[in-house]
Structure formats: C-alpha cells, structure tokens
Amino acid sequence: MPHSSDSTAIPNDAHSPPGKKATRHGKAGLLSNLGADLPASLVVFLVALPLSLGIAAASGAPIMAGLIAAAVGGIVAGSLGGSPLQVSGPAAGLTVVVAGLVDEFGWQVTCAITAGAGVVQLLLGISRVGRAALAVSPVVVKAMLAGIGITIILQQMHVLLGGHAAGSAVENLTGLPAAVVNVELHSALLGLAVVAVLLGWKYLPAAARRIPGPLAAVVAVTALSVPMAPDVERISFSGSLFDAVALPSLPDGNWRAAAMAVITVALIASIESLLSAVAVDKMHAGARTNLNRELVGQGSANVVSGMLGGLPVTGVIVRSATNVEAGAASRASAILHGIWVLVFSALFAGLIQLIPLSVLAGLLLVIGAKLIKVADIKTSLRTGDLLVYVVTLACVVILNLLEGVIIGLALAALCVLWRVLRAQIHAHTPSAGSLPWRVTIDGSCSFFALPRLNRVLHSVPASEDVVVELNADYLDHAFREALVAWQTQHRNTGASVTLEEHGTTAFRDAADNTPQRQDPREFPLPPRTSWQPALPGAAHQSGHGDGGPLPLRSILLGIDKYHRRHADKVRPLVQELTEGQNPDTLFVACVDSRVNPNLITSSGPGDLLTLRNIGNVVCSDGRDASIDSALSFAVKGLSVDSIVICGHSNCGAMKAVIADAEGASTVALGAGFDAWLEHARPSHRELICGHPVALAAEAEGFSRLDQLSMVNVAVQLRKLEEHPVTGPAMASGDVQATGLFYDIPTARVVLVTPEGIEQLDPSMTLR
C-alpha cells in the first residue's frame, strides 16, 4: 500500500471522493482555481501546523526546524514537484533517522546531510529513475512504517510521562518501568487528554469535525494547561523564525558515515514521496504524477530546507488526503499552505511556546499508532509475507531504519527467488499394480532444483514403468541433462519412461537454446499423438518412452491422463449439467478427426450440440432420418439460437465427389458411401458454374478441393433455409445459420457466406 510519513491512513477508495473532482491542476495558471484552492490551503495549514511541531520535537531538532520544513515543502515542492495535489513537509517516517543524525553529528551537520540528500534526489530525478524507486516490496515498506511507529511510541511515552527519551528503542523499552514509577502526573494527564480527543474526534458531529482534530486537540489541551498546569515543561526556543535560520556546516571527519546518511535520507525520502504521490493519484480524477519531476521537486525542497536549517521534506499522505478532500484543484493549494505556515511562524511564534511537550507527545503517540496497521499484518499473513514483515519490523526497531530496510529487502528478494525458482517435484506410487509410477514436475526447472530432482527420481524402484509429467514455465540445460541421464539409466533396467509435457516451455529446446521463460498461453487438450507414440520403436527416437501401445491401450492411457490432469477441472463445469443440457448452437461438422468443434470455438461441455457426418451435409427432402431428427431435436426440443455448418480443408468426401465427377470409381468404399455423396454432388455442380464463394476462395489462393469444401458449406446453408424444420425458424429470426471453413494447415477459421468468404483471424487481412 502506498504510504507516507505522517500516517498510513490512506483511503481504500481509489476514486475521487464524492463531489471532489480535480480536473485542472494548474494548467490554466495558479490563480485560475483560487476559489477552490484558498479554502483548501487553510484547512491543510491547520492540519500541518501541529504535526510539524510534533515531528520536530520527536526528531530532537529545533522546534522551528519543523515549521521551516513545512513552509519550504509547501512552497518549493509544491511549485516544482510533479504531483498536482500532493502536499510536502516534515515526515514522521524520518524522525528516527533524524534523531540519530542529530545525536551523532549535531544539528547543523544534519542540515548539511538534508541538503546533500536533496542533491541526490535531484540527480535521481534528472536521471529519470523515478519509477525505479517504486521497485520496493510493499510488505517491507509497511513493516518499515510499523517499526517507525513502534519506535515513536516508545520514545514519546517517556515524554508523555514527564521524562526524556533515550537514544534507542531498546533503551526506551527497558526504561519504561522506571518512567512509569517516576511519572509526572500533570504531564501524563495532558498527553492522555490529547490522545482521548484524537480518538474520539471521529464520533463528533460533522459540523465539529470540520476543524482538524490535531489542531483542536493541541489548542484545547494547551489552553487547559495554562491555568491547570503552569509548571509543566513546554516548547522553548529563542528568537523568531528568522533567527532559527542557520547555514549548515560540514562534518568534522567521519565522512563515510555522513555519506551513508545522505544516501539513507535520500532513498527513504524518495520512496515515501513517490509512494505517497501514487496514493494521492488514486484519490482524484485529474492528471497523474510525473514521478521524475516529483523527485526534482522533493530534491529542491530538501536542498532549500537543509540550507535554511529545516527538517528533511517528503510528500505526506495525511496533508495530501486533506488537500484532496477539501476540494483543492491545483498545486496552488499546497503553495498557499506553505505561505500560511511561514506567516504564522513569523508573526505568532510566541504562541507556540505555550504548548506543553507532553501535548505533542500525545499527538505523536496517535500518529505512531496509525503507522501500525492490523490490516497489513493480516495481508502479510494471507500472502505468505509474514516472515518478511516481522523481520523487517524487528530490525528497524532493534537496529536502525536503514539496516532494517536493507535486511527486509534482502529477505523479500530471497523469498521471491525461493518461490520462483523452486520446482514442485513429487513421485506418486501407483494405486494398482498395472499402472505406472508417476513423477510430477511443476514450476521453474533450473539447476537449483537438481538436488530434489535426483532424490525424487532415484526413489522410483528399478524396472518400474514411469510417466514423467513436466509442467515447466522455465527449463534450463542442466535440468534437462539430469532428467535425460536418469531416463537412460532407468531404461537400462528394462522399464519404460514416458514424458508428458504440459507447460509453456519445450523439453527439447533446453538442449541447444538459451533458456527463457515462455509466455503462458491458454490451450486446450493436445491430440494424443503429440505426447504418446503410436508405433513401436518411435518412443526411443522421440525420447518419450518405450514401445507402441495398442489402440485400446492408447485410449485407456489417455483416459488415465484425463483423470490425473483434467477431470478435477472439468467436474465443476459438468455438475451444473447433471439434470439436462441447454446448448445455444447446433454444430454440423464433418466426421474428420482433425476437426474439433469445441477447440475452434473455445467452447466446453454443454455449449454445442454436435451433428457429424461425412461431408458435413444436411438434406431438405426428408431422405435421412438421422439428420432430420437431429435438426428437429435442436430447433424444437432444445431451442438453439444458431446452426453452424463447418467444412474443412483437404476433405476426403470432397475428394470423392471430384473423383466421381471425373469418372473415377468409389466402389472401394462401398455402395452406401457412393449413395451418401449424392448429398454433396450439387455443390460440385455449383462449383463448375462459378459460385461466388468459389471465385472468392480462388482469389485467396485456395485449391480446387478447398474451393469445393467452401461451396459445399454455402449449399448446405441454403438447404437449411429449405428444410421444413429449420426454414420457418430461420425465416422468423428465431434461428440464425452460419458457415465456417477450418483450414487445417494454418489452424485458422474462415467465415463462409452465400456471397464469398471472410477471414476471422484479426491478424490476417485479405489480399
């Protein structure tokens, strides 16, 4: 889930909020949408003010540094960034990093690190690698935010109780019992009051909730603290906002650590900003973010913020979501919000010093808690990423943010490699003595899988026939070599080895070609002859097995394969058809074994009522009871919507018709066959007379034989119009008739009409 550092409260709805559509985004000028942007900027300012103060306090930085970053983020990033509605400012996600930098280098060097990180972001944006920053596992990002949330909670618990936070999360955790014992009651009550107000704010009437909850909580509890707890520790600073502006200074030695800090801040700030921008894009219907330009804007803001003594800047989702929901229409809203922060900080800085530290601690406790999402934990558990989530979170809390993220990314990459490269290899003992052993191999077949492959293959007893079912999406030479070596060894024991391939890669291709992952394609059952040899001795030549099965045995082996690989997928389809059928089409096809109606129509059980005969013919004179009864059952009994007549190339029936017309005898096939051809002889006569279909087929380069097959389809369509059952149904529009021609050499289907032919394959164009 895209995230930001203020919070991860990203709306689930990926569309614009009701009534809030951003459509112009500044293309007509920043002032063209001022009526919408001005009120939205005031709302965002009221949300950003307390958050910026709290983040500065949690980072161990000067309080004014948070306001400087908020002003710079709004004005600079808002003006130069690539996201039209994202609002930038100081980020809770970087508080742990900044606090560590302040402890190690001091504040002014931390400012230099912020400016250096901005330069790195500028270079990333100019190099156009913005999208590459999104190549981060979401579970690592979610765990990182959760780790930051836990660290903030442990840190701010001490402040809320009236004490001071330690340098690490572990020290803060171990020091909690002592802090509870030495609690400062007024401080704790004020902080808990802020927590209570924020948690209960959503239950107030809508009119009251127009005021941002963080602002209301801080103002109300601060006002209460002035008379009730005057001695509680409060925010303190000397001078004005302009006095807080200070040039950064370079580190005194330890350049390697400083350089690493620059990279750390740059990467974290870039990732948070880009993911936040993606989240904001899902909340409105306007222009999308230019990620490379956004990096340039964020980098520019960090350079300016670091040079002026401000905190690191990132895009933040809470302010951005508020901006969209308040009706902002362009980047002018973010810019104006930065101006309001600047004006307030310059004119009313004294009011800030009234805020108790425990009040900001209560605000940060709620922010930290929002970074920990139960939904993210459930998602990681459901998707098998819980280990990555837990390890990343623990490392962020115990070690530091950078090391935790690096460890999390490394673990996520290892998990991906394990899932992608791991092949499922199992040996199945036959349930009956007459059946062969089965070895199933699924997944990516590389040298990584060789140990398991050899262990499973050698678990098959010698002299036992084996069927190897290979369902690979990737197969390299090493895997093929190991399988072939075992195949040879096992055959030497007198057993047969049959290889069945079902995946997207070909076993033979791994011998001499560079392995590559093939595109998966939906494909129906292949013909049995493609995986099972039909002639004795062919198995050895093809590498598929030993011996040639008899036809009956061949069918039984095919049924066995069906039960093993396809029955469980077919079962849900046919269970609904148990009590009856409701096909929408009668498909009249030739008996030729090469024509598969369900294959070429991408249909399944219950879709087609099929009538097959020699030459795919019908008759309108009542001379064939089987054809008449099939037509009557389809139209009157099942109320089909359409009838298809499908011929095919190189048709044996059409060959016989041509041979008969040329004086050749068909006696060898019997008198019955010769009599049956009478249904197709009218088609030959129309071919001779120059039927339009024949002329169109000839123009497309089809042979005389295939021209006759197409004309025959057109003639049979006309017979349907004359048939006493189908004729009236077609005349009334209840049934439609369609002619098809299946070209076996190209595996393409051609539409046949009374006037001509039409290619149905979109990749083909008629010449």
SS3 annotation, 351-410: HHCCCEHHHHHHHHHHHHHHCCCHHHHHHHHHCCCHHHHHHHHHHHHHCCHHHHHHHHHH
pLDDT band at 193 (very low <50, low <70, confident <90, very high): very high
* Nearest of 31, 11, 621 to residue 324 by alpha carbon: 11
Question: Torsion angle of alpha carbons 429, 431, 435, 437, nearest 10°?
Answer: -10
Contact residues for 405 (Cβ-Cβ < 8 A; gap 6+): 140, 144, 268, 392, 396
* 646-672: average pLDDT: 83
pLDDT reported for residue 231: 86
Residue scoring higher pLDDT (193 or 95): 193
pLDDT reported for residue 537: 37
**CA separation for the pair 132, 126 (Å, rounded):** 13
pLDDT surpassing 60 at residue 535: no
Domain boundaries, the chain: 40-375, 424-565, 583-759
Calculate what percentage of the chain has a pLDDT beyond 70: 87
Contact residues for 672 (Cβ-Cβ < 8 A; gap 6+): none
The three-state secondary structure class of 85 is coil
For 11, the token pair is: 């709306």
pLDDT band at 488 (very low <50, low <70, confident <90, very high): very high
**CA separation for the pair 20, 37 (Å, rounded):** 12
pLDDT band at 652 (very low <50, low <70, confident <90, very high): very high
Query: What are 469-482's pLDDT values in tens digits?
Result: 888 888 888 999 99
For 124, the token pair is: 């990333």
* Residue 244: burial class (beta carbons within 10 Å; 0-12, 13-18, 19+): buried
Query: What are 500-529's pLDDT values in tens digits?
Result: 887 777 787 778 788 877 665 555 555 655
pLDDT surpassing 60 at residue 292: yes
Given a contact cutoff of 8 angstroms between Cβ atoms, the answer to whether 219 and 47 are in contact is no
Strand order in 756-759's β-sheet? 608-613, 585-590, 642-648, 736-743, 748-753, 756-759
CA atoms within 13 A on the CB side of 13: 11
* Residue 516: burial class (beta carbons within 10 Å; 0-12, 13-18, 19+): exposed
Top-ranked range on mean pLDDT: pick from 32-36, 112-116, 435-439: 112-116
For 699, the token pair is: 């123009």
What does the mean pLDDT of the chain come to? 83
**CA separation for the pair 493, 464 (Å, rounded):** 8
- In 284-356, which residue ranges form alpha helices assigned H by DSSP? 291-308, 317-325, 332-347, 349-352
CA atoms within 13 A on the CB side of 613: 19
The dotted CATH code for 424-565 is 3.30.750
Query: What are 404-423's pLDDT values in tens digits?
Result: 878 998 999 999 888 888 88
**CA separation for the pair 174, 166 (Å, rounded):** 10
SS3 annotation, 507-552: HHHHCCCCCCCCCCCCCCCCCHHHCCCCCCCHHHHHCCCCCCCCHH
Contact residues for 480 (Cβ-Cβ < 8 A; gap 6+): 445, 507, 510, 511
Beta strand pairing call for 585-590 and 642-648: parallel
pLDDT band at 251 (very low <50, low <70, confident <90, very high): confident
683: left (phi over 0), alpha (psi -120 to 50) or beta: alpha
Measured CA to CA in angstroms, residue 382 lies from 136, 376, 389 at distances of 19, 10, 12
CA atoms within 13 A on the CB side of 91: 35
Q: What fold is seen in the domain 583-759?
A: Beta-carbonic Anhydrase; Chain A (3.40.1050)
Say how many C-beta atoms besides its own lie within 10 A of residue 240's C-beta: 14
Given a contact cutoff of 8 angstroms between Cβ atoms, the answer to whether 32 and 49 are in contact is no
CA atoms within 13 A on the CB side of 590: 26
For 57, the token pair is: 């306090």
pLDDT reported for residue 683: 93
The three-state secondary structure class of 501 is strand
Rounded to 5°, the CA angle 473-474-479 comes to 130
Contact residues for 735 (Cβ-Cβ < 8 A; gap 6+): 635, 640, 641, 642, 643, 726, 729
For 760, the token pair is: 């149905």
Token pair 């040329």: residue: 662
Measured CA to CA in angstroms, residue 120 lies from 180, 267, 297 at distances of 43, 9, 12
Angle between helices 291-308 and 255-281 (to 10 degrees): 130
Query: What are 201-235's pLDDT values in tens digits?
Result: 888 888 887 787 877 888 899 899 988 888 888 87
Top-ranked range on mean pLDDT: pick from 184-188, 302-306, 468-472: 302-306
Which H or E run includes 424?
A: strand 424-428
pLDDT reported for residue 519: 62
**CA separation for the pair 747, 757 (Å, rounded):** 16
Query: What are 709-718's pLDDT values in tens digits?
Result: 999 999 999 9
pLDDT reported for residue 388: 94
Output the pTM of the full model: 0.62
The three-state secondary structure class of 75 is helix
Say how many C-beta atoms besides its own lie within 10 A of residue 488's C-beta: 11
* 3-state percent breakdown (helix, strand, coil) of the chain, nearest 5: 55, 10, 35
DSSP strands (E only) in 205-306:
none
pLDDT reported for residue 708: 96
pLDDT band at 8 (very low <50, low <70, confident <90, very high): very low
Length of the chain: 767
pLDDT band at 586 (very low <50, low <70, confident <90, very high): very high
SS3 annotation, 163-187: CCCCCCHHHHHHCHHHHHHCCCHHH
pLDDT band at 147 (very low <50, low <70, confident <90, very high): confident
Given a contact cutoff of 8 angstroms between Cβ atoms, the answer to whether 61 and 311 are in contact is yes
pLDDT reported for residue 527: 60
